[in-house]
Amino acid sequence: MVAMQLQSVGAYHGRKLFVEDVTTPVMKAGELIAVIGPNAAGKSTLFKRITGLLKGPGNIVIDGARTKNAITYMPQDTSANAVLTVYESILLARKQGQSWSVSDSDLSFIDEIMRALNITSIAFRDLGALSGGQRQLVSIAQALVREPEIMLMDEPTSALDLHRQVEVLDFMQRRARSKGMVVMIAIHDLNQALRFADKVLVIANGRMRACGYPRDVVTVDMLRDVYRVHARIEKCSMDHDHVIVDGTAH
Amino acid sequence: MAEIAALPIEAEAGRERYRALARRKLMILAAMTAALCLSFAVDLAWGPARYSLGEVIAALIDPSSVSAQIRAVVWDIRMPVAVMAIVVGAALSVAGAQMQTILANPLASPFTLGISAAASFGAALAIVTSVSILPVAATLLVPANAFIMALIATLFIHFVSQMRGVSVQTVVLLGIALVFTFNALLAFLQYLASEQALSAVVFWTMGSLTKATWPKIGITLAVLLIALPLFARHAWALTAIRLGEDKAASFGVNVRRIRLETMLIISLLAAVPVSFVGTIGFVGLVGPHIARMILGEDQRFFLPGSILSGALLLSLTSIVSKSIIPGVVFPIGIITALVGVPFFFSLILSNRSRSW
């Protein structure tokens, strides 16, 4: 089973060290880790560093991966104006680096993922004709058909309605457990993070502020220091912690 | 979500529809191939001396069964022109297709980004001043100069497009600036040129397939045959690049390397035909757009589609260039521009998602 740990990881944007010194506990197979922090905190940069798209100091230790390309990154930007159908765009994510021929098992797997994400009705629609939310779901499907062992999702639910947000996060949580994946999700909705994440990593101004169990990390003090808000944390009817924001802190 | 996942009927639906879509695209490619064969035969049959399609086919299959005159006209006069039309059309169209792909720009083509203008300047430099950029034989002076200038323009476009903060719009504007720059330099040379050199430069810049010879066809075809497997090898990666740099990188595509490799191949594909036949505009722009509209951008279909659409377009244009005034062969560059400009307008004004 795959496991990943970040040890003093940093990331360069050009010559500037944009993210520095991120150290996490071991993230184990089946875990969903929420990466939270204000805008421009360095969440996407950290993901790109883990994927190898950016360089930087530190070690990314991956243990127990079955394949060389264990990590798949789902970027935040899902806009695309390519003249492709949704189905073709998902197929091409699966077939990268492989032959031109497409097997029945490839197509069956795509069908399975599309059904799971409830996007079969848009399978043969042009990519350019999709709404922002639909594009986000297609982007998730593109990442999933690569059968990653470690999946980094950059704000995958930002354009989705509430129902879809819960569906997708619930699905990703179950998928992480059933397939033994490590799933890291950059997310702004702290209540969704508290509900679905096994661990939370807080990042602000390119530095890690905390990493651990949600209850230990998402605190009134952290919300004031990192997000500059006065907030309370209360239990909701489903026994989840819930952040209630009372106002901004100056 | 879980309930929908349990429905077995839908499990087959996507797979079967995709297979049907792929079959339809293969049939379109087959139809385009048939149309190209027909156009090629008509191009051979068409000319001042009118022969029937049957006579032309007989001359092709069994040259000894037709008269020496038909044999000479078909094989020695019309064949190089007809073959060159197909090879040049295919090369320019593929160059345009991949340029549009890696620059993420529907207006990218060897003509619109100034590569043809650079080649024209190189050729004019050879014709007017006999200055050689490369140490080559006098007979190769014009194509060699045209090639080098086209190569320089292509690489310039590529490296600027790779610079941080350079947008797609900037690249197009840069291409337009190159067109104006090389046109100004060309005008400068034309002003200095002797009457004889001036007429040679003007004829060259009009683009003409009558300059076709078997060695030129061989070189252009060789470049095309070297380029195609390299593009084919990166078919999935090139398609992914159309989804955006970040998305392609997230699929494991080394975007920078693929862009550089592709641009180097494009520079050859665009420069070689232009250096042999002169400026033939719009094929590199229109060909890929036709392929994109009917086949989409999956490179497994888009690449052969661009080859066929470009080849068909120039083959048909070759026929048109002989048909306007009987006995007169118009420079093909004039005809492609006449056909291409309205398409260019429709492209700019069109909001149809299938065209970009």
In chain A, residues 14-53 whose CB comes closer than 8 Å to chain B: 14, 51, 53
Q: Is residue A22 part of a domain?
A: yes
* A95, A154: one domain: no
CA–CA dist B50, B47 (Å, integer):
6
Claim to verify: residue A159 and residue A62 sit in the same structural domain: yes
Q: What is the average per-residue pLDDT within B53-80?
A: 89
Domain extents in chain B? 35-355
Q: Rounded to whole angstroms, how far apart are CA atoms B136 and B115?
A: 21
For every residue of B230-296, DSSP letters joined together read: HHHHTHHHHHHHTT-HHHHHHTT--HHHHHHHHHHHHHHHHHHHHHHH----SHHHHHHHHHHHHH-
> Do the Cβ atoms of A100 and B292 come within 8 Å?
no
Q: Does B30 touch chain A (CB under 8 A)?
A: no
Among A121, A3, A122, A10, which Cα is nearest to A66's? A3
Same domain, A193 and A174: yes
A156 shares a domain with A133: no
Q: Dihedral sign, CA of B55, B59, B63, B68?
A: positive
Give yes or no: residues A64 and A157 share one domain.
Answer: yes
A95, A126: one domain: yes
Q: Is A103 in the same domain as A45?
A: no
Chain A contact present for B15, CB below 8 A: yes
Can you give the residue range of the structural domain that contains A8?
Answer: 1-70+148-224
Q: Judge if A217 and A154 occupy the same domain.
A: yes
Beta bridge partners of A248: A229
**Radius of gyration of chain A from its Cα atoms, rounded to whole angstroms:** 18
Give how many domains chain A has, as a whole number.
2
Whether CATH 3.40.50.300 fits B35-355: no
pLDDT of B11 over the 60 cut: no
Task: Measure the CA dihedral B219/B271/B119/B257, to 10°.
Answer: -150
Q: How far apart are CA B269 and CA B93, in angstroms?
A: 9
Within 13 Å of residue B226, how many CA atoms lie on the same side as its CB? Answer: 15
Interface check for B353 against chain A (CB to CB < 8 A): the answer is yes
Contact criterion met (CB < 8 Å) for B251 and A126: no
Do the Cβ atoms of A97 and B250 come within 8 Å? no
Same domain for A51 and A156, yes or no, is: yes
The string of pLDDT tens digits covering residues B186-198 is 999 999 999 999 9
Taking the Cβ of residue B194 and every Cβ of chain A, the question of whether any pair is shorter than 8 Å is answered with no
A161 shares its domain with A50: yes
Distances (CA, A) of A112 to A119, A173, B235, B286: 10, 17, 25, 38
ipTM of the complex: 0.90
Same domain assignment for residues A29 and A124: no
Answer yes or no: do A89 and A136 share one domain.
Answer: yes
In a domain, residue A242? The reply is no
Amino acid at B90: A
How would you write the pLDDT of chain A (250 residues) with one tens digit per residue? 899 999 999 999 878 899 999 999 999 999 999 999 999 999 999 999 999 999 999 999 999 998 888 999 999 988 888 999 999 999 999 998 888 999 999 999 999 999 999 999 999 999 989 999 999 999 999 999 999 999 999 999 999 999 999 999 999 999 999 999 999 999 999 999 999 999 999 999 999 999 999 999 999 999 999 999 999 998 887 778 889 998 888 6
Residue B17 to residue A123, Cβ atoms within 8 A: yes
